[in-house]
Amino acid sequence: MTKTILCVLLILAPAWHLAVTTPDSRFYVRQEREETPDRTLLSWEKREARRDTDDGRHTRAEDVAALAEKIGTEKAGRFDYTVSLKEYDCRRRYLRFREVHYYDSKGAELYAAEPVKDFNAEWTKPVPGTAAEQLFELACEKPVELQD
């Protein structure tokens, strides 16, 4: 019975697609995007710090240290990945974070960050040549290839 339920959940769950790999992180996206009344796009993105590189291990350590200030060292030590809701203004070339959620390796939410208090919710331009720019291009349907 458990195997049947797990199979159904895997089939019904929207898939994450590897979009960008950097020396310290892997970024995944869902193909579904939502247009807002303001004609911006909302897109869910997942970021995992790489554990196979020194840069990735360093990034994860920084993430855990920052998270520990909010939820304690023991709980933060279970951190595995973030899922963020980003908003893209494709016409003006701006982006901003709307939500950021922190999860452990089993998919349990450890912390839900609050806009302004925990992260910058202001509109910013994607920096050229970065993962942010590649994710922007992908969200705004420019030709960027997924790395499945």
Tell me the per-residue pLDDT of 12-48, one tens digit each, with 9 for 90 and over.
556 999 999 999 999 999 988 899 898 999 999 999 9
| CA atoms 113, 27, 15, 108: torsion sign | negative
> Cα–Cα distance between 90 and 47 in angstroms, integer?
21
Domain contains 147: no
- At 117 the pLDDT is 67
Which pTM value belongs to this model? Answer: 0.82
Tell me the per-residue pLDDT of 72-99, one tens digit each, with 9 for 90 and over.
999 999 999 999 999 999 999 999 999 9
Distance from the first to the final alpha carbon of the chain: 30
Domain contains 132: yes
Domain count, the chain: 1
pLDDT tier for residue 125 given thresholds of 50, 70 and 90? very high
> Cα–Cα distance between 35 and 23 in angstroms, integer?
32
Domain contains 112: yes
The CATH number of the domain where 69 resides is what?
A: 2.40.128.710
What are the structure tokens assigned to 27, written together? Answer: 């970024």
Domain that residue 22 falls in: 15-139
Domain contains 8: no
> Cα–Cα distance between 24 and 111 in angstroms, integer?
22
Q: Is 137 helix (H, G, I), strand (E, B) or coil?
A: helix
Domain contains 1: no
Domain contains 20: yes
